[in-house]
Each structure stands twice: as C-alpha cells, then as structure tokens.
Amino acid sequence: MFGRLILLIVLVGAVLWFLRWFRRTPPERVARILRRSLLWGAVGVLVLLAISGRLHPLFAALPAAVPLVMRVVNLLRLAPMIRQVMGALGLSGIPGVTAGAGFGGGRTSSIRTRFLEMTLDHASGEMDGLVLEGPLRGRRLSALGLEQLLGLLALCRRGDAQSAAVLEAYLDRVRGGDWRARAGGGEGSAPPAADAAMTREEALAILGLAQGASRDEIRAAHRRLVQRFHPDRGGSDYLAAKINAAKRLLLSE
C-alpha cells in the first residue's frame, strides 16, 4: 500500500513537471523533442523485444498500430491548440503550471519592435522572443547561445534603438549582468522614449489585454507586470517605462 502511494506521488509529480515544461517550451521545440522521444522509445522497445525473442507478435500487431501512430503525429501538430485549451481550463491554478500565452485572462504581454517580438509572462515573469529580421530570423531567443545573442544585439544597436533596449532587458533578466563584459561593456545608445508614438493596440499588447478591457482590468494587468518586471526585481527601466506608458495611454481615453 505504501509503495503504491509513493508511486502515485511520483506519477503526479511527473505529470506536473511535464505540464510545466510543455507550457514554457516553444511549440516547435516541444514537437521536435516528442518526435525524438517517440523514435528512440520505439527503437528501444524493438531492441528489447528482439533480445527477448518477442519480436514476431509485434509484427503481427503492426497493422493495428498504424492508426495509433497517425493519431500521435496529428497530436504533435496540435501542440499550440493544446496550450490554448490548458489556459482556457485555468490550469494556471495547478502548482508549477502557469497561464497560457494570451489565454485565460491575457496573462502574456508582447512588445513588437523592428527586430524582435518579445513576450512577457505575467505569472512566471519569464521572457522570450522571436527574431523578426536579420540572419537569425525565425529563431527564438531562448534557443540562441550568448555569442549569437550578442551578435543580434550589435545588429539591433546599429538598426533600431528600441529593439536594442528590449534585447538588453532580456539579457539582463536571463543572463544577469555578466553579458555586458562579453559585449565590451557597452551600454549602447540611449533607448527611445517608451511612449513615443504608442498606439492603443500596442498598449493593449504590452499589458496583455483585449479590446474593451475595463479600467480595473488595465490597473490589474499593470500591477501584475510591475511586480514582475520592475528594475528592482530583475526587470529594466525601459520595460517599466513601457508598462507605465501603456497604462497611461489606456486610462487617458
């Protein structure tokens, strides 16, 4: 009885860990890792069956397994939709699982610049981004090494001050302050004004809100973001200024 209880606890912990990993990992990486796991898992099963002399029954059951394999492949393609369902079901209440990006109350914000589309998770405080322009276009920041990030930063500093400011905020949060020594200690040019030419749509995206958000929802979203991305809590002056500017714009209407 005690052994079954331990097994149940381990199983629940493994499920929660998987949900946490599934939520935080980019969809394309989830699909890639699951495909590899299925491939190597199948190879391992074949080896064990061959060693134990039970390979012939497997070949007999192979035709019946084809539809199951096709269902698994289709499931991997639905990874983004599964994330949406997780957020809509409020799985953020489960320990170790955060709300979905843009779902379940708009707990993910985005800041789009020339070179980057950065996402800010209200619940976990994590940042990630997609490269929109340049040699690394289509890559996620979390999948890049430090040298690649510094090369991207140099490109942003030459071409777009706002992109550079956002990327510096990401590096400060994820890499700490050590990256500046690798970058030659440069601080870059002064970032542009946080509220320069900000539109209503941009302000809503920064606060992670939908059209028609109430004043209370605006204040609540602002409060969540400030708690996560204030400079004293690992954020940056530029991010805090963008968050404050978005709140001012929406409340002024």
CATH number for the domain that contains residue 132 = 1.10.287.110
Q: What is the arithmetic mean of pLDDT over 90-102?
A: 37
Domains contained in the chain, number: 2
**Pick from 79, 101, 123: which residue ends a domain?**
101
Residue 160 counted as domain residue: yes
| Whether pLDDT at 240 is above 50 | yes
Asked if residue 139 and residue 225 are part of one domain, the reply reads: yes
More confident residue, 33 or 218: 218
Examine the fold and report which residue of 101, 132, 151 is the final residue of a domain before the chain moves on: 101
Band (pLDDT 50/70/90 cuts) for residue 104 is: very low
Q: Are residues 112 and 221 in the same domain?
A: yes
2 is a domain residue = no
What average pLDDT does the chain have? 74
- pLDDT for 94 equals 36
**Mean pLDDT, to the nearest integer, of 180-202?**
67
> What is the arithmetic mean of pLDDT over 195-221?
86
85-89, 90-94, 223-227: range with lowest mean pLDDT: 90-94
Segment 161-181, tens digit of pLDDT: 989 999 998 888 887 777 887
Average pLDDT, integer, range 100-129: 74
The set of residues, in sequence order, having a beta carbon less than 8 Å from that of 224 and lying 6+ positions away, is 107, 122
Here the tokens at position 114 are 């020339």
In a domain, 12, yes or no: no
Q: Based on the fold, state whether residues 120 and 193 are members of the same structural domain.
A: yes
**Is residue 8 domain-resident?**
no
Indicate whether 237 and 196 sit together in one domain: yes
Query: Does residue 10 sit within a domain?
Result: no
**pLDDT range class, residue 125, cuts 50, 70, 90:** confident
pLDDT at 137: 93
Residue 150 above 80 pLDDT?
Answer: yes
Same domain as 196, residue 161 = yes
Q: What is the pLDDT of residue 105?
A: 41
The pLDDT of residue 24 is 56
Asked whether the predicted pLDDT for residue 82 surpasses 70, the reply is no
Residues of the domain holding 43: 19-101
